[in-house]
Every structure is written in structure tokens, then in C-alpha cells.
Amino acid sequence: MKKTTPAKKTVASSAKKTAAPPSKKSAATKSAATKSAATKSAATKSAATKSAATKSATTKTAATKSAAKKTTAKSTEATLKKTASKKAASQQPTPKKPATKPESHAALVRRARRINRELAEVYSYAHPELDFENPFELLVATVLSAQTTDLRVNQTTPRLFAAYPTPEDLAAAVPEEVEELIRPTGFFRAKTKSIMGLAKALRDDFGGEVPGRLDDLVKLPGVGRKTAFVVLGNAFGVPGITVDTHFGRLVRRWKWTEETDPVKVEAAIAELFPKSEWTMLSHRVIFHGRRICHSRKPACGACPIAELCPSYGEGETDPEKARKLLKYEMGGLPGQRLKPPPDYPGKPAPPLAAG
């Protein structure tokens, strides 16, 4: 009986040993299950995060598109409003500037005479820009100056007057020889006919002398009121207004007159100034037109009467740029006369051969 007891213990111990392995398997199974659950949970969370991110991105994109659509709509609406506003504005009449009070005749006279005084200070040396020694030479030179510059005439007449010093000499000349001498002045055939015609008239009708009356001068071939006043004012001391292209242009810019016909311009300006000023006024205005107030590009920025000019701004207003536009002695260049007066501040013009 005592020997059977250990056997039971052995069996029990064996049984316990046999039962132990199932316990380890259960733990492993649980661990695997836990890991699987954790993996699934992580995967689920990741999927949820991605889904949320995707939804968020989709929402933001949709919001951006919506905002862009709204912005485009607003821009389109603004453009349409602007277009409509422009159309409405174009259909309405443009408001007119308030009319300025017209200048009275008395105010015009005061302004015109002030301009003349200012020009007298600037061009104290103003003079006829044709070289001449007597009334006959001045008359011929003035006829030749049509459609050319005084400089070109001054470069041409020395040879002409050397060959034909008197009306009698020129009246007896050979036309072809005269044409060749005055060719540089242009229109030489027509001008030859004029100067030879007036020379013959002076010889035959006035004893070879140039008359000192307007009515007599305008009867000579090629002589009009402008030429007659040049001769009367500078050779005989008879006051006259010389309306050339420069004079006419400037008096219109200054609003002294709106007339374009030379005779009407002359009459209008004669009402603004005393007769004693007519000849020198003509010189000053012409000087200013040739040196500063040019036809195409006036040098407004260098003009001494800019504050008195209603047309200021038509030309260059920058002082530095305007100074570069000045001509003749104002620009440091030679003048138009080969023999200028003693008080002329510029350089004499060069002879034809040197020019």
C-alpha cells in the first residue's frame, strides 16, 4: 500500500506537465490577437486620418473655387459697370470750359505796347538784315529776298551790285547774265524779270532815283506794300509796318489780331501803336520770330516775354532745351549780314564762297 502513493504523485505531476503547454498557447494567441487588433486600429486610424485630410483638402479646394468664382463674378460686374459708365459718359455732351472774359481793346493796347518795350530792351540793336549802301541796293535786295533768307541775298548781291551799280546799268544788262548772278536766291528767272523791270522804270520814270512815296513804289515791277515799307522805313525814314511771314505769325500768336491778309494785319497793328514806332516795331518782331519764336518749334522756355504771351507752351518750355533752339547771335551763331551795324553783338555772316 505504501508503494502505490508515489506513483499517483508521478501521474499527477505528469498530468500537470501535460496541461502546461496549452496555457502557453493561449498566451500567444492572446498576444497575436492583441497585435492584430492594434494593427487594425492603427490602420483604421490612418485611414480615418487620410479620409479626413482628403475631405479637408476637397473642402478647401471647393471653397477656393467658390471664392474664385465670386471674385470673377465681381470683376465681371465691375467691368460691365465701367463699360456702361463710359458709354453713358460718351453719350453725354462734353462740358465746356467756362468762357474767359474777352480782352478789352484798352487791355490789348497795354499788353501789346508792353511787349514792344520788352523787345526793345532785348533787341536794342534791331536793324534791317539786308546789306545795302543806298535805296537802290535796298530795293533790289528786298525783291530778291522773296522765298529765301536775307543771308542768302546778302551773299549774292555783292557780285550783282559790283556788275550793275546803278538802275541804268541793270536796265541795260543781259538777262541771262543777271540770272546766273542771282541764281542762289531761287526763282532767278522771275526775279531777273522783276529787278530789270524796276531798273528800267527807275531809269525811264524817276530819273534813275528810287521814289520816296508809297504810291510810286508799289507801281514798280515786283514791289508790293511789304517791300515798299522796308525801303521807306530804312532808306527814307518814313514809318511803315512790314508784314512778312514772321511778323504775321507772331502777332497772331500774341492775339494782337486774327487777320491773315497782310494789308488787314497792317491796319490792325497800326491801331495799337503810334506811327513813330512802326518801323522799329517791325524789326523787333521779325528779329524775335527769327531767333526765338520759330514757326515749327518756338523756344518758349527762353522767351523774354513768355508771361505776356497767350500762346506760351506751343513750343519747348524746358529752359535748357529751349536755349538749344536759339538762332543767330542769340544762339552764338553768325548773323545774316556780311556787314552788320557796329552795335551788332553777333558775328558777321560768311561770304557765299565760304558758306
Q: Of 169, 193, 216, 244, which is the active-site residue?
A: 244
Instruction: Retrieve residue 231's grid coordinates.
Output: 525801303
Q: Which of 309, 312, 310, 291 is nearest to 301 (CA)?
A: 312
Please list, in sequence order, all residues whose beta carbon lies within 8 angstroms of the beta carbon of residue 77, skipping any fewer than 6 positions away. none
Q: Of 131, 150, 191, 226, which is the active-site residue?
A: 226
**Contact yes or no for 184/152 (Cβ under 8 A):** yes
- Whether 70 is a known active-site residue: answer no
Q: Which of 284, 246, 241 is nearest to 263 (CA)?
A: 241
- Whether 226 is a known active-site residue: answer yes
Question: Within 13 Å and on the Cβ side, how many CA atoms surround 130?
Answer: 27
Q: Which of 319, 115, 145 is nearest to 223 (CA)?
A: 145
Catalytic site residues?
Answer: 226, 244
